[in-house]
Structure 1
Amino acid sequence: MAKVLCVLYDDPTDGYPAAGSPTAYARDGLPRIDSYPDGQTAPTPRAIDFTPGHLLGSVSGELGLRAFLESRGHTLVVTSDKEGPDSVFDRELADADVVVSQPFWPAYLTAERIAGAKNLKLAVTAGIGSDHVDLDAAIAHGVTVAEVTYSNSISVAEHVVMMTLSLVRNYLPAHQLVLDGGWHIADCVSRSYDLEGMHVGTVAAGRIGLAVLRRLAPFDVALHYTDRHRLPADVESELGLVFHESAADMVPHCDVVTINAPLHPETEHLFDDKLLAAMKRGTYLINTARARIVDQDAVRRALESGQLAGYAGDVWYPQPAPADHPWRGMPHHGMTPHISGSSLSAQARYAAGTREILESWLDGTPVREEYLIVDGGGLAGTGARSYAVRADAPDGLPGTARL
């Protein structure tokens, strides 16, 4: 029998929503999503033991896995305590067969932790983005790594659009004025602009980046992108996209830049003082990808000097961000906790996908190819398409990400 260790974020501060309460949730259900824009089908587990639209990503939600696993004789341990050698995560990891966590509250599977977890065979990301797993170590130790590809890509894209409009229209300060009892219109509109006619660019145009471009096109903006892989000519023509060879080439043309790239050596601290200085004065920067793609102090300086008109995102380093994190107090920001991909809608999909992965793995049947990052001692599925192999890496270990 398998031991599944699930690391999830804490329950709401006022307690987990009461079962059966008519006011526990804002809505009674979710729209049905059967497939994604590229034709990939949504998760298809044989059954689910949760109500779509309920809070599944916190500790008490358990991703809806307990009844399924325990009915088969497996053990499920759920915790939010993941930091330090005395954490529940570290204690339970020693004999765990499977680790499940979310990008919003990642259980960092370092090389040291993987080496010490002698039974570990599967690491599942409930969502997308497995950079919290040391893929080199997973390959070396024969650990399968899987994620619920595409499950929350559209959720993140919607968050990017929301943050773009919030910054450009100066929404958050205006709303705060209402909460404070004020009615000083000039104070609100002195930093408010129309998005119409602006030039918007995305760094990376994969599932999320392309979804952002499609959602912004109706705002009558000029759209730009940079990516290692150029989009098909018909997509460029449909959306009127301008392709740039690099971020450095693109950003001087843009009024809004959104980062939708993975974190890897080529993107770490990509947005430093030099690149930020190359942008138009008054550019808005949105980052829902990974915090270390930007230089933390350079962003703060650019906001303070006015080089950036605003910065928004939901990714921090470290996560969770401490109370004294410098980004909390910088001017003209619209930061949120890491929530863009954890809406109740997204949770239903990535919880179902997690169960689908576990069903396949526990039954000894193949996990969907698009869910795989590492399998059989090498990159596989989405991982094989998303990661380049370093020329100097022994035994085909992964290097920089490609998508």
Structure 2
Amino acid sequence: MSKILCVLYPDPVDGFPPRYPRDGVPTIDRYESGGTLPTPQHIDFRPGELLGCVSGSLGLGRFLETSGHTLVVTSDKEGPDSVFERELADAEVVISQPFWPAYLTADRLARAKKLRLAITAGIGSDHVDLDEAAARGVTVAEVTDSNCISVAEHAAMQILALVRNFLPSHEWITRGGWNIADCVSRAYDLEGMQVGIVGAGRIGLALMRRLKPFGVPLHYMQRHPLQPEVARELGAKFHPSVESLAEACDVISIHCPLHPGTLRMFNDELIGRMKRGSYIVNTARAEICDRDAVVRALEGGRLAGYAGDVWFPQPPPPDHPWRTMPHQAMTPHVSGTTLSAQARYAAGTREILECWFEGRPIREEYLIIDGGKLAGVGASSYTLATGARA
């Protein structure tokens, strides 16, 4: 039997379980990308319940405990005396979410002598040192596709919030005002703006399809051009470099993974190439943008706005400058953990565990590291310093 260590975000401040505004979530048959939804043998939760916090436990408690496994669930992940640190030493499986990541650094992986499987409940496994995981034979998996549309919708919302100056306008109302001139002095139409996507994978492509009806010319940059029929459908222009994209666009939304090639990609130099008054939305990973370069660009007027839901570290300290920089529309890392998304990534996590315990292959589209090298979706999304690839 195995010990499973699950690190999830804390319960609601008013206690668990909460009251839900709806009785459930709509049912979908397939992912927009054409992918298959999670197919666990059973689930022990009702879709629409809060599963991503400690008391929700991803709906795994009954399944694991009746199977004889030990499940430890905690939100305490910081510092040498945290529950995460204490329990990691003999854990065989670690489950974490991008929204409250348990950072599996090289040092922690070295101390986790029994660890064999690291699961991301959601998408994005950069909180795991993938080189070290590969070297130590730790399998890394995530629930690919589970919250792609959730993130794409959030990015679309934040683009509109910035361009239309929504949040300051809302704040005038909550403060009892009706200051129309102040509200509209930074408000524009999105229509006609050049919108660029960095990384036209599942999330980036979904966002492009949602933005096309707004009448915006679309641009994208990634390793390879889209299929010709998809590019024609969207009227999207391919850029071979991020510099070319930055110079052409009024709005840029970031949807690429974090790896050595994208680390602090949006720095002073690249932001300096953008049009004055451009906007950046980043729902990918915070360190794709240079933290202080973003602050400087907003304070100096190079950027008209910055929004996103990703920070480093997560959660950020109270004095993180993105909390107080001007013209921002930041949120906690919530884009991919709607109640709708939780039902899918909780079911996918259970599917991965069922396969693992029964000795069945984990779906290729869930795999990031397997057999000491990049595998599945990881082979097309990440790079290793060792150069190991599928």
| Structure-2-length-normalised TM-score | 0.98
1:140 aligns with 2:135: yes
Task: Specify the alignment match of 2:16 in structure 1.
Answer: 16
In the TM superposition, what whole-angstrom CA distance separates every residue of 1:40-60 from its partner, at most 9, and x where no partner exists? Answer: 111111110011111100010
Aligned 8 A contact 1:129 1:147 in 2: yes
Within a 5 Å distance, the mapping from 1:66-105 to structure 2 comes to 66-105=61-100
- d(CA) in 2 for partners of 1:16, 1:302: 41
Task: Specify the alignment match of 2:52 in structure 1.
Answer: 57
1:323 aligns with 2:318: yes
Task: Specify the alignment match of 1:238 in structure 2.
Answer: 233
The one of 99, 107, 128 aligned to 2:123: 128
- d(CA) in 2 for partners of 1:114, 1:303: 38
Percent of aligned pairs sharing the same letter:
68
The CA deviation at 1:398 is 5.8
1:376 aligns with 2:371: yes
Task: Specify the alignment match of 1:336 in structure 2.
Answer: 331
1:173 aligns with 2:168: yes
In the TM superposition, what whole-angstrom CA distance separates every residue of 1:87-137 from its partner, at most 9, and x where no partner exists? Answer: 100100111110000001111111111111111111000001001111111
1:107 aligns with 2:106: no
Task: Specify the alignment match of 1:21 in structure 2.
Answer: none
Task: Specify the alignment match of 1:301 in structure 2.
Answer: 296
- Structure 1, unpaired ranges of 5+: 19-23
- d(CA) in 1 for partners of 2:86, 2:295: 38
In the TM superposition, what whole-angstrom CA distance separates every residue of 1:215-266 from its partner, at most 9, and x where no partner exists? Answer: 0000000000010111011111111011111110111111111111111111
Task: Specify the alignment match of 1:25 in structure 2.
Answer: 20
The CA deviation at 1:389 is 5.4
1:264 aligns with 2:255: no
Say which is worse superposed, 365-374 or 380-389, in terms of deviation: 380-389
Count the aligned residue pairs.
Answer: 390
Task: Specify the alignment match of 2:273 in structure 1.
Answer: 278
1:47 aligns with 2:38: no
Q: Residue 330 of structure 2 aligns to a residue in which SS?
A: coil
- d(CA) in 2 for partners of 1:171, 1:211: 23
The CA deviation at 1:377 is 2.0
The CA deviation at 1:312 is 0.2
- d(CA) in 1 for partners of 2:344, 2:384: 30
Q: Residue 5 of structure 1 aligns to a residue in which SS?
A: strand
- d(CA) in 2 for partners of 1:136, 1:251: 31
Q: Residue 39 of structure 1 aligns to a residue in which SS?
A: coil
The one of 175, 179, 182 aligned to 1:184: 179
- d(CA) in 1 for partners of 2:341, 2:56: 14
**Corresponding letter in the other structure for 1:110:** T
- d(CA) in 2 for partners of 1:99, 1:122: 6
Task: Specify the alignment match of 2:341 in structure 1.
Answer: 346
- d(CA) in 2 for partners of 1:63, 1:106: 15
1:149 aligns with 2:140: no
Aligned 8 A contact 2:299 2:326 in 1: yes
| Structure-1-length-normalised TM-score | 0.95
The CA deviation at 1:385 is 2.5
Say which is worse superposed, 310-319 or 31-40, in terms of deviation: 31-40
Q: Residue 334 of structure 1 aligns to a residue in which SS?
A: strand
- d(CA) in 2 for partners of 1:120, 1:225: 39
Aligned 8 A contact 1:17 1:25 in 2: no
Aligned 8 A contact 1:4 1:75 in 2: yes
Task: Specify the alignment match of 1:397 in structure 2.
Answer: 388
The CA deviation at 1:85 is 1.3
In the TM superposition, what whole-angstrom CA distance separates every residue of 1:308-367 from its partner, at most 9, and x where no partner exists? Answer: 110000111111011111111111000000111111111010000000000110111111
1:226 aligns with 2:217: no
Aligned 8 A contact 1:360 1:367 in 2: yes
Aligned 8 A contact 2:131 2:384 in 1: no
Aligned 8 A contact 1:387 1:398 in 2: no
**Corresponding letter in the other structure for 1:150:** D
The CA deviation at 1:142 is 1.2
Aligned 8 A contact 1:203 1:260 in 2: yes
In the TM superposition, what whole-angstrom CA distance separates every residue of 1:377-402 from its partner, at most 9, and x where no partner exists? Answer: 22211112223455xx3xx5369xxx
- d(CA) in 1 for partners of 2:269, 2:374: 34
- d(CA) in 2 for partners of 1:184, 1:244: 41
Aligned 8 A contact 1:244 1:250 in 2: yes
- d(CA) in 2 for partners of 1:212, 1:320: 26
Q: Residue 115 of structure 1 aligns to a residue in which SS?
A: helix
Q: Residue 162 of structure 1 aligns to a residue in which SS?
A: helix
- d(CA) in 2 for partners of 1:280, 1:345: 37
- d(CA) in 2 for partners of 1:303, 1:112: 36
- d(CA) in 2 for partners of 1:147, 1:389: 17
- d(CA) in 2 for partners of 1:368, 1:242: 33
- d(CA) in 2 for partners of 1:294, 1:74: 41
**Corresponding letter in the other structure for 1:318:** P
- d(CA) in 1 for partners of 2:10, 2:131: 30
**Corresponding letter in the other structure for 1:148:** V
Task: Specify the alignment match of 2:7 in structure 1.
Answer: 7
**Corresponding letter in the other structure for 1:333:** Q
